[in-house]
Amino acid sequence: MKTPKLAYVVEDNPITSSITKLIIKKKLHCGRVQTYANGQRAFDQLTAVLQAGTDEVPDLILLDLNMPLMDGWEFLDAFARLPITQKVCVFILTSSIHPDDIEKARRYKQVQGYFSKPLEDDNLARMQELFQTNCG
């Protein structure tokens, strides 16, 4: 079974961020997990990585929607313009159950799944499966 080598957790709440990091390390067997407090920080890091040309591109991104500076949507728009050749699995992980958000997420083709918090076993199982089929 293929497991994520490098995951980004893009989340402004530090506690949520720590919890998510712990859980995906433990349950999804992620190799390394990096946390970013908003979309801008994650995007800056991605840009830097791409410029450096290293093998540091994440294969999994867990993205929150409501964040300061650059929110999840803005990150997705910016992300779509990046010249990434590797497969990156983007999952939305949010507290929002607003139907508008769920509908909007469907329209982003980079988004492989929409998950509402908390990150429990059924959510994790679905993540695992989607990662295998779409990004493995």
Partner 1 sequence: MKQPFDAAAALPGPTPSDQILLDFLQQQVLDGLWWQDMQTPAHEWVNERFWHTLGYTADEAPATWRATLHPDDQQKIRLHEEACLRDPACTYDHTARYLHHNGSVVWLRCQGLLLRDATGAPTRLIGTLRNVTPEKQAGAYAQEVATHYGLILSNQSVYIIKTDVQGNYTYVNDFFYERFGRDNAIIGTSSLLSIYEDDRPKCLAVVMQCFAEPEVPHQVILRKPYLDNTIKSNHWEFKGIRNAQGEVVEILCVGYDITLLVENLEKSQHLLDVTSQQNIRLQNFAYIISHNIRSHSANLTSLVQLLAEAEDQEQQEMFLQMLQTSTGKLAETIVNLSDIVAVNSNVSKPKETRQLKAEIDKTLEALSVLIHQHRITLDVQVSPEVVVTVVPAYLDSILLNLISNAVKYRSPDRPTVIRLRTYSEPGFTVLEVQDNGLGIDLVKNQAKLFGMYKTFHDNEDARGVGLFITKNQIEAMQGSITVESEVGAGSTFKVSFYENA
Binding positions for partner 1, rule: CB under 8 A: 13, 15-16, 18-19, 22-23, 37-38, 66, 68-69, 74, 94-98, 116-120
Cβ-contact 1, 28 below 8 angstroms: no
Closest approach, Cβ 68 to partner 1, in A, equals 4
Nearest CA among 97, 39, 34 for reference residue 68: 39
Q: How far out from the chain centre does Cα 23 lie?
A: 14
The minimum distance between CB 85 and partner 1, in angstroms, equals: 29
Q: How many CB atoms lie within 10 A of CB 31?
A: 13
DSSP state of 92: E
CB of 90 to partner 1, least distance (A): 20
Q: Which is nearer to partner 1, 17 or 88 (CB)?
A: 17
* Residue nearer to partner 1 on the CB measure, 59 or 75: 75
Residues whose CB is less than 8 angstroms from the CB of residue 27 and which lie 6 or more positions away in sequence, other chains included: 121, 124
Residue closer to partner 1 by CB (options 112, 123) is: 123
Looking at the Cβ atoms of 5 and 27, the one nearer to partner 1 is: 27
Tokens 């530090």, located at residue: 14
Minimum gap (Å) between residue 107 Cβ and partner 1: 18
